[in-house]
Amino acid sequence: MLWGGRFSKNLDPDALSFSSSLSFDINFAAEDIEGSIAHAEMLGKTGIIPEADSQLITDGLNKISKEIHEQSWKPDAEKFEDIHSAIEARLYELIGETAGKLHTGRSRNDQVSTDLRLWVKKRCGNIISLLHEVQKTFLELAEDNINTIIPGYTHLQRAQPVSFAHHLLAYIEMFERDKQRFSIIKKLSDESPLGSGALAGSTLPLDRNFTAARLGFKNPSGNSLDAVSDRDFILDFLNACSIGMIHLSRLSEEIIIWSSTEWKFLKLSDEFSTGSSLMPQKKNPDMAELIRGKTGRVLGNYISLSTTIKGLPLSYNRDLQEDKEPLFDSFNTYFNSLDIMRGMIGTVHVNKDRFIKDLAGDFSLATDAADWLVLKGIPFRKAHEIIGSIVKYLEDQDRNLSDVSLAELKKFNPVFDETAMDCFNIHTALFRKKTLGSPNPDFVKERINYWKQKQE
């Protein structure tokens, strides 16, 4: 234990098990050693401890790092309450009493906070890199489906036709916002708490600028109370993971629908599908379903930590030990879900002609007809009413727009002429779009080229 001198009895074994965080904070063993090496170097540089002791400690920590990497040493959860005490105990075994000088001027409070910030910064970079690769995969599929027409929906009712490429590009926009969020969090995490002590700094002449620079932080934290108790950057990270998972969950829902027999639009690769233990014909989109299901857990992690923090007075409280499991779980779940989604999209087969027949003369082209009337000088509200009446007229006869004749259209308004009939041509529907950001194939190509250049 790191605090045994004040106590005459050892911690109850059940209490040790209840309070131990070793099973999960071992995840940032590398960051803990990294922070300890920087601290030891600073202690030697400032003369707080002899340079020789600083070097001995650093060598010992590097050896422990190698042991952890090679899995030749694994701390015992029945002996240690966290990774910090385990590493320090191992350091004692390697270099003797000099190990006791490592914790000079340092508390586990600023030590843990430093570890967490180092870990979050690295994982933000990992996620940004993977999101970049996911975008590339989506771009490849989009480029191959610029002219693949699918129904666009509002209220899950057919609204207007779009291209599958345009639909995929919408998710690329979402992924870009996800990248921006993690970039911001990386910056918000970029200050070093090391040297803040338990809550009030130190009477020792610690060089906080040295350790901050040594660990790659922009600067040291400005307030010791805030430094050891701040978990806003973790909440931000959990929130970004939650939003990212929501994006993946929405897409998963669509993949599940698109791959159904009723839709017959996408065919998932066998590599990302499962079967049934009973029904031999089944091919299930389980990976998409799991992503959709795991989203709830990631959302819950944010609620869990925000609930923990909301009632805590300054500065550090042991409740904050509950920050790590949600953090590690959300990262692993989101990162793995992104990787699985990349695999699904990269191996999917698209039935490109699936909706051509369905959308030929479909009522989703009604807005185009209303716009045609507007260009003939009819106020939009009146045009809306005229086309709505035509739709009702055809629906009552179980017909669609491709069945209507020019003579019938003229009964609703004499302004209709032959050029109006092109409004009901699904093959030209997307090219009629005039606005930037629309599914006009020319605009979609421009947007794909924009993203391709951005990915380079």
C-alpha–C-alpha distance, residues 417 and 407, integer Å: 9
Taking only the tens place, the pLDDT of each residue in 240-295 is: 999 999 999 999 999 999 999 999 999 999 999 999 899 989 999 999 999 999 99
**What angle (nearest 5°) sits at the alpha carbon of residue 344, between those of residues 343 and 350?**
130
Instruction: For tokens 């973790």, name the residue.
Output: 234
Kindly report the CATH class assigned to 110-146+163-351: mainly alpha
Taking only the tens place, the pLDDT of each residue in 295-328 is: 999 999 999 999 999 999 999 999 999 999 999 9
- Say how many C-beta atoms besides its own lie within 10 A of residue 325's C-beta: 17
Query: Is residue 436 packed enough to be buried (19+ CB in 10 Å), middle (13-18) or exposed (0-12)?
Result: exposed
pLDDT-above-90 percentage for the chain: 89
Taking only the tens place, the pLDDT of each residue in 69-92 is: 999 999 988 888 899 999 999 999
Q: Using alpha carbons, select from 214, 220, 230 the residue that is nearest to residue 192.
A: 220
State the first-to-last Cα distance of the chain, in angstroms, to the nearest integer: 51
Residue 328's φ and ψ, nearest 5 degrees, are: -65, -40
Domain with CATH 1.10.275.10 in the chain: 15-104
> Which pLDDT value is given to residue 9?
73
- CATH 1.10.10.1590 is the classification of domain 357-455: no
Hey, what amino acid is at 171?
A: Y
> Which pLDDT value is given to residue 79?
84
Q: Where are the beta strands (DSSP E) in 305-416?
A: 349-350
Residue 11: pLDDT band by 50, 70, 90 thresholds?
Answer: confident
> Which pLDDT value is given to residue 5?
60
Least confident of 74-83, 116-125, 415-424: 74-83
Q: What is the mean pLDDT of the chain?
A: 95
Half-sphere exposure of 53 (CA within 13 A, CB side): 21
Whether residue 182 is predicted with pLDDT greater than 80 in this model: the reply is yes
Whether residue 7 is predicted with pLDDT greater than 70 in this model: the reply is no
> Which pLDDT value is given to residue 360?
87
- Say how many C-beta atoms besides its own lie within 10 A of residue 247's C-beta: 20
Whether residue 2 is predicted with pLDDT greater than 60 in this model: the reply is no
Taking only the tens place, the pLDDT of each residue in 354-395 is: 999 999 878 999 999 999 999 999 999 999 999 999 999 999
Residue 4: pLDDT band by 50, 70, 90 thresholds?
Answer: low
Residue 125's φ and ψ, nearest 5 degrees, are: -65, -40
C-alpha–C-alpha distance, residues 131 and 211, integer Å: 31
Domain with CATH 1.20.200.10 in the chain: 110-146+163-351
Hey, what amino acid is at 249?
A: S
Rg of the chain over all Cα atoms, to the nearest angstrom: 30
The β-bridge partners of 219 are 191
> Which pLDDT value is given to residue 10?
75
C-alpha–C-alpha distance, residues 117 and 193, integer Å: 9
> Which pLDDT value is given to residue 361?
78
The β-bridge partners of 350 are 266
Half-sphere exposure of 259 (CA within 13 A, CB side): 25
Kindly list the catalytic residues. Answer: 155, 276
Domain 15-104, what architecture?
Answer: Orthogonal Bundle (1.10)
C-alpha–C-alpha distance, residues 241 and 111, integer Å: 25
Domain with CATH 1.10.40.30 in the chain: 357-455
Whether residue 129 is predicted with pLDDT greater than 90 in this model: the reply is yes
Instruction: For tokens 């932080």, name the residue.
Output: 217
Q: Which helix (H) or strand (E) holds 212?
A: helix 208-214
Average pLDDT over residues 115-136: 98
